[in-house]
Amino acid sequence: AGIDVTLICDNTAGMLMQQGKVDAVIVGADRIAANGDTANKIGTYSVAVLAREHGIPFYVAAPASTFDPDIPDGSGIIIEERAAEEVTHGFGRQTAPDGTKVYSPAFDVTPVELITAFITDTGVKPGGRTDQKS
């Protein structure tokens, strides 16, 4: 009764897509703008671009309450930045020289044109992408 899935490290996605080993991508969402642009953890946009390149359906699974009608599109979603120490210090020690500039956004925005459909608690809603393999 279960779905056969394999958990991978995020940087493995492109290689597996290239090898034809990915049937679909399903991600979550932290916020969805009125037009369907979707904010989620950093790296989601990159995976969506890879999925489009390889003709793989890209789904967003989130409660309908994640849609924010007050934000017209992704440009209105505020992107939180993570603390520099999360990048410059790891495993209990400093891993970058003092004064190193850090840019570490917590989220990115995936345009609705890269999304096949939204899977919500109220049903499935179409995204803006129609070119994936069936």
d(CA 47, CA 13): 7
User: Which residues are known to be catalytic?
Assistant: 30
Q: Residue 73 is encoded by which pair of tokens?
A: 């599109």
Give the ranges where the chain is alpha helix by DSSP (H): 13-18, 44-53, 85-88
**Side-chain half-sphere of 14: how many Cα atoms within 13 Å?**
9
The answer for residues whose C-beta is within 8 angstroms of residue 133's C-beta and 6 or more apart is 55, 56, 57
Nearest of 104, 12, 3 to residue 61 by alpha carbon: 3
Element housing 21 (H / E): none
